[in-house]
Amino acid sequence: MPYKIFVTRSIPDAGIKLLQANKNVSLDIYERDQQIPRKELLRRVRGADIILSILTERMDKEVMDAAGPQLKMIANYAVGFDNVDVKEAARRKIVVTNTPHERVNESVAEHTVALLFALAHRIVETDAFTRAGKYHAWGPKLLLGTSLVGKTMGIVGTGRIGSSVVKRLHDGFGMKILYSDLNRNKDLETTTGAKYRTLEKLLVESDFVSIHVPLLKSTHHLMSAKQFKLMKPTAFLINTARGPIVDEHALVEALRNKTIAGAGLDVYEGEPLIALNPRDIKELRQMRNVVLTPHTASATIEARQAMSETAAKNILAFVRGKVPPNAVK
């Protein structure tokens, strides 16, 4: 009997074609390009041997119960896996995988740099200014931004993506790099001259701070009111990691009070809402010194196809009795 696989949302076709070409699997795909309603998810997973999930679906005890005792694998279409109850899966001996890939690292690193440029050169604000017909004449003080060359970049977390950001900014713009992590990154220090700092010292010294750590209990609200007060009033925060790493209410207050200069956000605490608090949502949308993108840091054709292919290869390895290359431990 073929393995029954339920795909919780239509994904790029690279991985789907790989799975369809294998006679040992049978696919059931939720084809709508929208988040699957919870009730339908619980109904559709019934009898599945494998669930190919995306980060918007909570893979928790309820889903595992609904699927049934034959569920053997959850292949998560995402680099992060905070939407999966990994402990519950392990208790049931369900294999969990994710989709890290160099293409994803490159895309998120590029998006981080794009947010950096947008903030420093006020791209979104100046675009709106020009479209509104407000540009009447060049002026020496018109919409002044800030340069990147020679400034200090603080990177919180130097895994694959954080390190990619460091190399781009050091090699391309000669920025001074500070980093904070659980362990020293000697390779990064050697190749870019990056200097290790505690998070507190990094925040005090940096002109730009970019978050690149996973969402864990220890990183929840890693950036909150105390941390914002340490930052320079001219500094900018960028978050392309996970929303709850930043206390968004504290961030809104810091922006409102000009404790920091601005922020670039691709992820949010109350996703898909921009924030948990309705007032914070309204303020963030109106702030000209904030750039908001809808969790699209990895949204390139190349990255999303690579993620699809990686998810499929994880599944096919499991089906063949092998340990999936990206099994979560």
* pTM, to two decimals: 0.90
**Annotated catalytic, 131?**
no
Bridge pairing between strands 195-196 and 50-54: unpaired
Average pLDDT in the 192-212 region? 97
| Residue 304 pLDDT greater than 90, yes or no | yes
Please classify residue 327 by burial: count the beta carbons closer than 10 Å to its beta carbon, then call 0-12 exposed, 13-18 middle and 19+ buried.
middle
Asked whether 91 and 300 are in contact (CB, 8 A), the reply is no
What is the pLDDT, as a whole number, of residue 305?
Answer: 97
Please classify residue 223 by burial: count the beta carbons closer than 10 Å to its beta carbon, then call 0-12 exposed, 13-18 middle and 19+ buried.
buried
21-73 pLDDT, tens digit each? 999 999 999 988 889 999 999 999 999 999 999 999 999 999 999 999 999 99
Q: How confident is the model at residue 212 (pLDDT cuts 50, 70, 90)?
A: very high
Q: How confident is the model at residue 329 (pLDDT cuts 50, 70, 90)?
A: confident
Distance of alpha carbon 129 from alpha carbon 314, whole angstroms = 48
Single-letter residue type at 179: Y
Distance of alpha carbon 27 from alpha carbon 317, whole angstroms = 16
71-115 pLDDT, tens digit each? 999 999 999 899 999 999 999 999 999 999 999 999 999 999 999
What is the pLDDT, as a whole number, of residue 1?
Answer: 80
What is the pLDDT, as a whole number, of residue 44?
Answer: 97
Average pLDDT in the 115-121 region? 97
Q: How confident is the model at residue 268 (pLDDT cuts 50, 70, 90)?
A: very high
- Residue found by looking up tokens 């499991």 in the block: 318
What is the pLDDT, as a whole number, of residue 210?
Answer: 98
Long-range contacts of 140-144 (CB under 8 A, 24+ apart): none
Distance of alpha carbon 189 from alpha carbon 155, whole angstroms = 13
**Annotated catalytic, 122?**
no
Distance of alpha carbon 99 from alpha carbon 216, whole angstroms = 18
Of 295, 278, 221, the closest CA to residue 251 belongs to 221
Q: What distance lies between CA 148 and its chain's CA centroid?
A: 23
Distance of alpha carbon 237 from alpha carbon 120, whole angstroms = 11
Residue 172 backbone dihedrals phi, psi, to 5 degrees? -90, -30
What is the pLDDT, as a whole number, of residue 226?
Answer: 98
What domains appear along the chain, each with residue ranges and CATH number?
A: 3-98+302-319 (3.40.50.720), 103-292 (3.40.50.720)
What is the pLDDT, as a whole number, of residue 19?
Answer: 96
159: tokens are 């895994």
**pLDDT mean across residues, the chain:** 96
248: tokens are 């968004």
Distance of alpha carbon 94 from alpha carbon 63, whole angstroms = 12
Distance of alpha carbon 8 from alpha carbon 77, whole angstroms = 10
- DSSP, collapsed to helix, strand or coil, labels residue 24 as coil
Residue of 9, 242, 269, 309 marked active site: 242
Question: Which helix (H) or strand (E) element contains residue 151?
Answer: none
**Annotated catalytic, 295?**
yes
109: tokens are 């690193």
